[in-house]
A and B are shown apart, each in its own frame.
Chain A
Amino acid sequence: MTQSKEVSKVENREVQAQQPEPRRRDVWLRPPVDIWEDDKGITVKADLPGVSPERLDIEVDGNNLVIEGEVEVPMSEGMEALYADVNVTRFRRSFTLSSELETDNIDAQLKNGELTLRLPKKAELQPRKIEVKVAA
């Protein structure tokens, strides 16, 4: 079942004069992506195995696109790891977008751990075919 995901926009936060939070040293996996562009926009496909729609977070902050997901696999009592290729449980990847993309209309679909993002180009910036009229 393919599920649509809402893309959240990060609003401008007010800078507060407070004690800054200590930075956590996060380690994450970089998911492999395929990215291509056609006349209508840009498509990003990312492999996020183990990430369910509830654990997927896609944000657009200014012109920065951030994809984050948490891996969850069914664990049972008394389980011990014997071998692990995957020993980090978080995916993260970000891209800077350009202004001709419509960040309000990003479409995100997650199916079987495969994320498909469609970033449409603003309508007026899509290449338009110019009709050549033949003079009578």
Chain B
Amino acid sequence: MLDVISHIEQDLFSRFARMQEEMERFFAGVPEVAGIRSAAVGTYPAVNIAASPEQVDVFVFASGLDPEKLEVSLQQNLLTIAGERRAEVPEGAQVYRRERFNGSFRRVMTLPEDVDPDQVEANYKDGVLHVVVKRREESRPRKIEIH
């Protein structure tokens, strides 16, 4: 009987080892470049960052937030967005799914170096927090006139 057990254990172990090998091979090709402050894929809330010559736009996808409890702060070019999201379910109800995020969150992101921390605007609409940071004047591309 001991024979059978040890055989099963060996089988499971080797299957896991193979899975791990496959995953390593798959991810090995992708260069691992992660910002030291970067969040894991799938961290709540989802964030998109876009830039144009005049400004940097940050979009935070977080439904049902209370804008009063939102904290948006910019230190040099480090943007921090923190808040709370309550997704409660009534007592006594029969719950089938509970997938939405419920709790506090904080995301920190490094923006381009030329953002001006004195020119930040934020608004919250349809569940998206839109933060606009203007870029410093001196570093904006200037058209050179040819006489």
Chain A residues within CB distance 8 Å of chain B: 32-38, 43, 45-52, 73-86, 111-114
Contacts and interface: CB of A to CB of B under 8 A. Distances in A.
Interface string B95-131: 1111111000000010010000000000010111010
Given A76-B57, A82-B112, A83-B49, 15 more contacts: A36-B93, A37-B94, A38-B92, A38-B94, A43-B93, A45-B100, A47-B64, A47-B100, A50-B59, A50-B61, A51-B126, A82-B56, A85-B61, A112-B63, A113-B128
Interface string B29-57: 00000000000010001111111111111
Contact of A49 (B50, B62, B87, B98): B62
B142 to A, nearest CB: 15
Nearest to B59: A73
A48 B128 CA distance: 9
B127 A112 contact: yes
Given A34-B98, A74-B130, A114 B63 contact: yes
8 A-B pairs with the lowest CB-CB distances in the bound complex, closest first: A113-B127, A49-B127, A113-B63, A85-B46, A114-B64, A32-B99, A49-B61, A78-B52
Contacts of B48: 73, 81, 83-86
Given A47-B127, A113-B128, A37 B59 contact: no
A86 B42 CA distance: 10
A49 B126 CA distance: 6
A34 B89 contact: yes
Contacts of A36: 89-90, 93-96
Contacts of A33: 97, 99-100
A48 B124 CA distance: 14
Contacts of B64: 47, 111-114
8 contacts: A36-B90, A37-B96, A49-B46, A75-B50, A78-B54, A84-B48, A85-B46, A113-B61
Nearest to A114: B64
Contacts of A74: 57, 130
B65 interface: yes
A84 B128 CA distance: 14
B47 to A, nearest CB: 5
Contact of A85 (B47, B51, B100, B130): B47
Contact of B57 (A35, A49, A79, A111): A79
Contacts of B49: 81-84
B46 A82 contact: no
Nearest to B129: A49
B128 A50 contact: yes
B108 to A, nearest CB: 13
A51 B127 contact: yes
